[in-house]
Amino acid sequence: MFHRLKNDFRLSIITLLGISGLVGITPFAVLRFMQGNLLAGVVDSTILGGIATSMAYAWLTGDTRRTGLVMAIISSYGAVVVGSIVGDPGLFWLYPCLVTSFFLVGPRIAVGINLSAILAMMVVGLAFSSQEQMWSFSSTAVVVSACAYVFAHRNHSQRRRLEQLATIDPLTGVKNRRSMDEELDVAAANAERSGLPYALVLLDLDHFKRINDEYGHGVGDEVLTELVALLESNTRRSDQLFRYGGEEFVLLLPGVDGVNLRAVMNNLQQVLRKYMKHPGGPVTASFGVALLGHGESVESWLARADNALYTAKETGRDRIVYAEDIGQPMPEPVPTVAG
């Protein structure tokens, strides 16, 4: 539970705001019934039910985007209904809703929800005792929304920047090892669900340390960026490239196996042989390739590709080695025992 809250920002926001809403609204719902205001009590209870249901849906399905939208709509328009029923006291409920909308949905959607809620409150008009009060409330509500928009927009930009720094290799611009771990888990799950084949390629530049030692790290960096450019221009959009560490990269190839996989790998090898250069001459690479086995763990899959790469390096470099060709076939799935 705490792991999900720590790693899922939107779920943590939904949970925090949902609990705050339940704690804040429940006493007033009880008070409405005690005062005999059944309509307001039913509205408050409906809002509480909507918030609780939305939170449960987010936890069960992980669909936080849809949940956030529903909660923003329920809270904002619920505040409009409450204000129309109870008058002045209900107006104050819309202010926190105007702010929380920006935490539950994107800034543009939040602006639309807020402005429409303010307009609805003005059109109904039952919550206001005078025109002056209505326009004063509307003006302050718009100011609150504008301030919340600026804060949310800035926060959203900073969070995207932090996510990019955490998942993108700054030198080459491709995804880093952290992203690779997540994508391999997704690939393994998708393979089990759909039966789509996946190939994993570990690629290591030959004698890269010598390039850095003889020509400097600036030249080495240029070689790495050139390698990435060649790989990205000679692979499909569905293929994914990751920097595994140093001069080692990982290619995730969905939907290829057998003859097609070998054709793809031979083409990549020829492209690198033809175009990869540095001041001392051509640059070559060694490849280790493994197909994902049915029921195989990501750790086993990666280890078999790594062993194939090690064999390629040990047997002369500038070659492609397939895990299945060196006595490392795809593991058989572990049979399940019916309970």
Active site members? 247
DSSP element (H, E) containing 253: strand 248-254
What beta strand segments (E) does 66-190 contain? none
Alpha carbon of residue 272 to chain centroid: 32
How far apart are alpha carbons 68 and 10 in whole angstroms? 8
Phi, psi angles (nearest 5°) of residue 246 = 60, -120
Count other Cβ atoms within 10 Å, centred on residue 324: 15
Residues in the chain: 339
Are 167 and 175 contacting, i.e. CB atoms less than 8 angstroms apart?
yes
Nearest to 95 by CA among 40, 128, 53, 139: 139
Which residue(s) pair with 45 in the sheet? none
How far apart are alpha carbons 82 and 74 in whole angstroms? 12
